[in-house]
Structure 1
Amino acid sequence: MLLVAGCGANKAEISEPDPASAKGFSGGVAADEPRAALVARNILASGGNAADAVVAGALALTVTYPGAAALGAGGICIALDPVNRKADSIDFLPQLPPGGGGVPIPGMLRGLALLQGTHGQLRWEAVVSPAEALARFGERTSRAFVQSAAEANPPVAREAGLARLLLNRSGAPRSEGEQVSQNELAATLGRIRSAGAGDFYQGMLARQVLADAARIGGAIRPEDLRGYTAQIGKPIEVPFQFGSIVYASPNAQGGAIAAWLLEQGFEPAGRLSLQNVGKTKPREFVTAIGQAYRGTGGNAPLFEQGSTSLSAIDKTGRAVACSFSMGRAFGARRIGSETGILFAAAPGGPGDETAYLAALAVGNYTAKQSFAAGAVSGGAPGAAALAQVLLDSLGSNGGRLGVAMAKPRLFQPAPDAPVLHEPGYDAALLGAITERGVPKVEVRRLGRVTMAVCGNGVPRSPESCRVAADPRGFGLAAGDEF
Structure 2
Amino acid sequence: MDRIHPVWAQNGMVSAQERVAAGVGRDILARGGNAVDAGVAVAFALAVTLPRAGNIGGGGFMLVHDAASGQTQAIDYREMAPAGASRDMFLNAQGEADSEKSLRSGAASGVPGTVAGMRMALERHGSMDWAEVIAPAIRLASEGITVTPELADSIEASREELSAHPASAAIFFKPDGSGWQPGEVLVQADLARTLRAVAEQGPDGFYKGPVAEGIARAVQAAGGPMTVEDLAAYKPVLRDPVRGSYRGYDIVSMPPPSSGGVHLIQILNILEGYPIGALGHNSAETIHLMAEAMKLAYADRSEYLGDPDFVDVPVAALTSKDYAASLRAKIQSGFAMPSDMIGPGDPGPYESDQTTHFSIIDKDGNAVSNTYTINLDYGSGLVAEGTGVLMNNEMDDFSAKPGVPNAFGLIGGEANAVAAGKRPLSSMTPTLVLKDGKVWLATGSPGGARIITTVLQVVMNMIDHGMNVAEASTAPRIHHQWLPDELRIEEGISVDTLRLLAAKGHVIREQPTMGSTQSIMRDGQSGALLGASDPRRPDAATVGF
TM above 0.5: yes
Q: Deviations over 1:347-403 (max 9, x none)?
A: 126526962211001225xx5521111111021112101111122134577x62111
Note if 1:120 corresponds to 2:126: yes
Q: Which residue number in structure 1 is paired with residue 533 of structure 2?
A: 469
Note if 1:389 corresponds to 2:453: no
Q: Which residue number in structure 1 is paired with residue 518 of structure 2?
A: 450
Note if 1:244 corresponds to 2:250: yes
Which amino acid in 2 is paired with 1:148?
Answer: S
Note if 1:265 corresponds to 2:250: no
2:489 pairs, out of 421, 424, 445, with 421
Distance 1:223 1:158, change over 3 A: closer
Q: Which has the larger radius of gyration?
A: 2
TM-fit CA distance, 1:475: 3.6
Residue 445 of structure 2 aligns to a residue in which SS? strand
Q: Which residue number in structure 1 is paired with residue 287 of structure 2?
A: 282
Question: Matched residues in 1 for 2:171 and 2:271: separation?
Answer: 44
Q: Which residue number in structure 1 is paired with residue 470 of structure 2?
A: 402
* Alpha-carbon contact 1:410-1:421 (below 8 Å) kept: yes
2:187 pairs, out of 181, 184, 192, with 181
Which amino acid in 1 is paired with 2:201?
Answer: A
Higher relative strand content? 1
2:427 pairs, out of 347, 356, 362, with 356
Q: Which residue number in structure 2 is paired with residue 380 of structure 1?
A: 449
* Alpha-carbon contact 1:148-1:305 (below 8 Å) kept: no
TM-fit CA distance, 1:199: 2.9
Question: Matched residues in 1 for 2:150 and 2:266: separation?
Answer: 31
Q: Deviations over 1:384-430 (max 9, x none)?
A: 01111122134577x62111111111111217712111111133321
Which amino acid in 2 is paired with 1:216?
Answer: A
Residue 462 of structure 1 aligns to a residue in which SS? coil
Residue 434 of structure 1 aligns to a residue in which SS? helix
Residue 127 of structure 1 aligns to a residue in which SS? helix
TM-fit CA distance, 1:289: 1.8
Q: Which residue number in structure 2 is paired with residue 313 of structure 1?
A: 361
* Alpha-carbon contact 2:15-2:531 (below 8 Å) kept: yes
Residue 452 of structure 1 aligns to a residue in which SS? strand
Tell me the TM-score normalised to structure 1 length: 0.84
TM-fit CA distance, 1:173: 2.3
* Alpha-carbon contact 1:30-1:450 (below 8 Å) kept: yes
Distance 1:150 1:285, change over 3 A: farther
* Alpha-carbon contact 1:394-1:453 (below 8 Å) kept: no
Question: Matched residues in 2 for 1:61 and 1:55: separation?
Answer: 10
Residue 389 of structure 2 aligns to a residue in which SS? coil
Distance 1:400 1:200, change over 3 A: same
* Alpha-carbon contact 1:188-1:205 (below 8 Å) kept: yes
1:218 pairs, out of 221, 224, 245, with 224
Residue 376 of structure 1 aligns to a residue in which SS? coil
Question: Matched residues in 2 for 1:254 and 1:197: separation?
Answer: 28
Note if 1:347 corresponds to 2:395: yes
TM-fit CA distance, 1:436: 1.9
Which amino acid in 2 is paired with 1:351?
Answer: A
Residue 68 of structure 1 aligns to a residue in which SS? coil
Alignment of 1:288-307 (within 5 A): 288-294=293-299, 305-307=353-355
Distance 1:83 1:447, change over 3 A: same
Q: Deviations over 1:226-263 (max 9, x none)?
A: 22110111001012555521001321112222221211
Q: Which residue number in structure 2 is paired with residue 191 of structure 1?
A: 197
| Alignment gaps of 5+ in structure 1 | 5-23, 298-303
TM-fit CA distance, 1:204: 5.1
Question: Matched residues in 2 for 1:276 and 1:206: separation?
Answer: 55
TM-fit CA distance, 1:41: 1.4
* Alpha-carbon contact 1:68-1:306 (below 8 Å) kept: yes
Distance 1:229 1:275, change over 3 A: farther
Q: Which residue number in structure 1 is paired with residue 315 of structure 2?
A: none
Question: Matched residues in 2 for 1:420 and 1:359: separation?
Answer: 22
TM-fit CA distance, 1:122: 1.1
Q: Deviations over 1:198-247 (max 9, x none)?
A: 33223454334433433433322333222211011100101255552100
* Alpha-carbon contact 1:151-1:305 (below 8 Å) kept: no
Q: Which range moved further: 286-295 or 196-205?
A: 196-205
TM-fit CA distance, 1:87: 0.7
1:229 pairs, out of 235, 251, 254, with 235
* Alpha-carbon contact 2:353-2:375 (below 8 Å) kept: no
Q: Deviations over 1:24-82 (max 9, x none)?
A: 83211111122111111111111111111111111011111122122110111111123
* Alpha-carbon contact 1:183-1:340 (below 8 Å) kept: yes
Q: Which residue number in structure 1 is paired with residue 316 of structure 2?
A: none
Question: Matched residues in 2 for 1:104 and 1:279: separation?
Answer: 39
Tell me the TM-score normalised to structure 2 length: 0.75
Which amino acid in 2 is paired with 1:356?
Answer: S
* Alpha-carbon contact 1:236-1:256 (below 8 Å) kept: yes
Task: Let me know the Cα RMSD of the aligned residues.
Answer: 2.9
Note if 1:32 corresponds to 2:17: yes
Residue 67 of structure 1 aligns to a residue in which SS? coil
Question: Matched residues in 2 for 1:148 and 1:346: separation?
Answer: 19
Q: Deviations over 1:416-461 (max 9, x none)?
A: 712111111133321111112222111121222111112x33xx52
* Alpha-carbon contact 2:287-2:478 (below 8 Å) kept: no
Residue 347 of structure 1 aligns to a residue in which SS? helix
* Alpha-carbon contact 1:410-1:425 (below 8 Å) kept: no
Distance 1:375 1:143, change over 3 A: farther
Which amino acid in 2 is paired with 1:441?
Answer: R
Q: Which residue number in structure 2 is paired with residue 17 of structure 1?
A: none
Question: Matched residues in 1 for 2:274 and 2:31: separation?
Answer: 44
Question: Matched residues in 1 for 2:223 and 2:526: separation?
Answer: 53
* Alpha-carbon contact 1:136-1:183 (below 8 Å) kept: yes
Distance 1:385 1:438, change over 3 A: same
| Alignment gaps of 5+ in structure 2 | 86-105, 303-351, 398-405, 411-424
Question: Matched residues in 1 for 2:539 and 2:459: separation?
Answer: 18
Q: Which residue number in structure 2 is paired with residue 433 of structure 1?
A: 501
Residue 286 of structure 1 aligns to a residue in which SS? helix
Work out the number of aligned pairs and report it: 445
Distance 1:359 1:94, change over 3 A: same
Distance 1:346 1:83, change over 3 A: closer
Q: Which residue number in structure 2 is paired with residue 323 of structure 1?
A: 371
